[in-house]
Structure 1
Amino acid sequence: MAMIPNQLPKLVSDPTGRSFGLDLPPGALRGPADDPYLWSGHGPAGPAAWGALRPAARTAGLLPVLLGVDRSLEEWELEPGRMSDPADHEADEVLAGFWGSRGEGGWPGPAPAQPVDTDPDRAAATVAEMLTEPGFWLEDARPALVPARRSADIPAVIGWGGPLNHENDVARLCAVLRSWEDRFGARVVALTFDQLVVSVAAPPRTLEEAGAVAAEHYAFCPDNIDQGPHGGLRWYAEKALLDTPVWTFWWD
């Protein structure tokens, strides 16, 4: 995978990230000593963490993400070396392949792009703050930094295996996330062992638009519909996507 210069090794001698304009809490690096792929904090992020980590994107090319604590990171079995480069895949081809493999007939094609009037990074910060508020389901999530060119690439950079039963190479799904970045102002906000949370700065505004996005979601993560509480694609489009600034995916 084409990588940006990795600044994470500097945290060995500068564990608070002061040289990057940060004040990191205690944490640990993961990966080879000379090329780690992840820094994660030892304690809960809290609502203020995302804003505190955001300068790292500008000063060090490190992007923030929240990591759930449903299982230890050792159990995640992260394998970045096994993933390809998201740039090697076309989102439409990936989705069409998934759609066809489920016998759903002809692929309807990608949903139209939405005008992105809200800054996607600000939208991501708002979602991250909300999810880590006391009482919300990611209140204990850990803060993390990843050396990635784009938020969409984070799962591939760390070798995340959450969708393993659906797709072995998460970089193919990252190609779709890149497309959602471009069309909907999406950002990867959080990962758990088998869940992905994406903020959406420009969600679909009409039921027709939401229906087109729902088809993409079904190809991307069929368990959202097949094993979720949703009554088919139309119900999912209306209840889970219409004017909704957060998309959540779960793979069995």
Structure 2
Amino acid sequence: MVDAATRDILAQADGDEREEWRAELDPGRLAGLLRPAGAAPSAGDVWDHEEHRPGDELWLCLVEAEEGFELPVLLPGVPDAPNWWSEPAQRPLLPADHVAFLRSWHERFGAEVFFADGATLRLVVARPPSDPLTAARVAVEHFAYCSDLADDLPVMGNDRVRSTVWSFWWD
């Protein structure tokens, strides 16, 4: 899916823009722009999002599942990613696609679903990547999965993916 998203972005870009995207979406090149490994991951705040504030009323839904990454298959439409890809020819993000990303992140980084509602998804991450190349690869994965909250890719690789909380939002 990451390769397909990268190909689609490059196909839509023209000239200089294509080369800029190629540079940003290449984990090997992106890793060179990231800080070195060694610092502890930043402590994320699962409630640090403008849609939910302390005191807001939330609905709690308990779902019987072997693993949290199964949630999008058990509750189709959670999360809802209506604009996953802007090209009309692209198919929507399917529950199995969510599961593929979430399971991969669970197995590699201990990412667990903490919160999901409509178009918002937050993960608590036990072992965020610390080395630059892995952080760069995960930043590109995050961008392919959900570009709505995508800062520039170096910011994602230095900050967002090296945090104990990963947030995604689709509008």
Does the pair score TM above 0.5?
Answer: yes
| Map of 2:7 onto structure 1 | 100
After superposition, the CA RMSD in angstroms is: 2.8
**Aligned residues of 2:2 and 2:140 also touching (Cα < 8 A):** no
The match for 2:81 among 134, 151, 163 is 163
- Tell me which protein shows more strand as a share of its residues: 1
SS of alignment partner, residue 121 of structure 2: strand
Instruction: Name the aligned partner's letter for residue 53 of structure 2.
Output: W
Within 5 Å, which residues of 2 pair with 1:1-252?
A: 94-103=1-10, 104-105=21-22, 131=47, 137=53, 140-160=57-77, 162-166=80-84, 167-225=92-150, 230=151, 232-242=152-162, 244-252=163-171
Per-residue CA shift, 1:86-135, capped at 9, x if unaligned? xxxxxxxx2222222222559758xxxxxxxxxxxxxxxxx89x649xxx
Instruction: Name the aligned partner's letter for residue 186 of structure 1.
Output: A
Structure 2 unmatched runs, 5+: 11-20, 28-43, 85-91
Higher relative contact order (CA 8 A, sep 6+): 2
Q: How does the TM-score come out when normalised to structure 1?
A: 0.46
Deviation at 1:194, TM superposition (A): 1.0
Instruction: Name the aligned partner's letter for residue 246 of structure 1.
Output: V
Following the alignment from structure 2 to structure 1, what is the Cα–Cα distance between the partners of residues 96 and 53? 26
Following the alignment from structure 1 to structure 2, what is the Cα–Cα distance between the partners of residues 186 and 143? 20
Following the alignment from structure 2 to structure 1, what is the Cα–Cα distance between the partners of residues 80 and 71? 13
SS of alignment partner, residue 124 of structure 2: strand
Instruction: Name the aligned partner's letter for residue 177 of structure 1.
Output: L
SS of alignment partner, residue 166 of structure 2: strand
Instruction: Name the aligned partner's letter for residue 65 of structure 2.
Output: A
Following the alignment from structure 2 to structure 1, what is the Cα–Cα distance between the partners of residues 157 and 64? 33
| Map of 2:30 onto structure 1 | none
Change (3 A) 1:208 1:138: farther
Following the alignment from structure 2 to structure 1, what is the Cα–Cα distance between the partners of residues 110 and 95? 20
Structure 1 unmatched runs, 5+: 1-93, 110-126
Change (3 A) 1:246 1:108: same
SS of alignment partner, residue 198 of structure 1: strand
Following the alignment from structure 2 to structure 1, what is the Cα–Cα distance between the partners of residues 137 and 169? 20
- Structure label with greater radius of gyration: 1
Following the alignment from structure 2 to structure 1, what is the Cα–Cα distance between the partners of residues 166 and 54? 14
Change (3 A) 1:164 1:156: farther
